[in-house]
Amino acid sequence: MRFDGMVRAKSGGSGRNVRRLGALRRAGLVGVCVAALGLVPAAAVATPGSGVSGTVVAQGTSESKLKIKPPHGPTDVTFREITVQPGGSTGWHTHSGQLIAVVKAGTLTRTLDDCSVEVTPAGTSFIEPAGSNHRHIGRNLGTEPVVLWVTYLLPEGSALSYDAEAADCPGEERS
């Protein structure tokens, strides 16, 4: 028995319906083939780039998995270099969205809302969480400038940071 792609109509059927069904099957097969071509990796037809260069300006490794939570809705993405001179501080503040920071030079010492202290040397990275319940201060307790490369992921129109009251940490200056 041979199947030639045509379905035979039962008695009383029209030859036109049989041809229409065969044409529909062929169109469906063509559609499946076209869809399958969309799954072929683009590299197979890629062209080499030209006239493009890139420079790594800062790179850091996180101590653990980075949990990034961008804002809902339109997001302002800002890249910023921040320098904290020896003895300097950021002041207590919060952010309305997350920040991804890389310490390019120096060592940043951060005191968090729960009074825990995180020391982040050059070549490492960290996330600063969003929200007024995540106030913190960054200090340069070293002898060389701290240079940070920071990516802000903020709700559209938000300020980069908001001043906050200092946490009541034992032995902590309120600056």
Side chain identity at residue 30, one-letter code? V
What pLDDT shows up at residue 52? 81
Q: CA Rg, the chain, in Å?
A: 30
What pLDDT shows up at residue 8? 43
- How far apart CA 141 and CA 160 sit, in angstroms, is 24
Q: What is the pLDDT of residues 32-44, one digit of tens each?
A: 555 555 555 555 5
Q: In this structure, are residues 41 and 53 in contact, taking their beta carbons and an 8 Å threshold?
A: no
Q: Would you place residue 60 in the very low, low, confident or very high pLDDT band (cuts 50, 70, 90)?
A: confident
- How far apart CA 95 and CA 78 sit, in angstroms, is 13
Of 126, 119, 114, 133, nearest to 172 by C-alpha is 114
What pLDDT shows up at residue 81? 95
What pLDDT shows up at residue 68? 84
- How far apart CA 64 and CA 77 sit, in angstroms, is 23
Q: What is the pLDDT of residues 95-142, one digit of tens each?
A: 999 999 999 999 999 999 999 999 999 999 999 999 999 999 999 999
Q: What is the pLDDT of residues 7-38, one digit of tens each?
A: 444 445 555 655 665 655 665 555 555 555 55
Of 125, 72, 81, 121, nearest to 100 by C-alpha is 125
**Tokens 């097969």 appear where?**
29
**What predicted TM-score, i.e. pTM, was given to this entire model?**
0.67
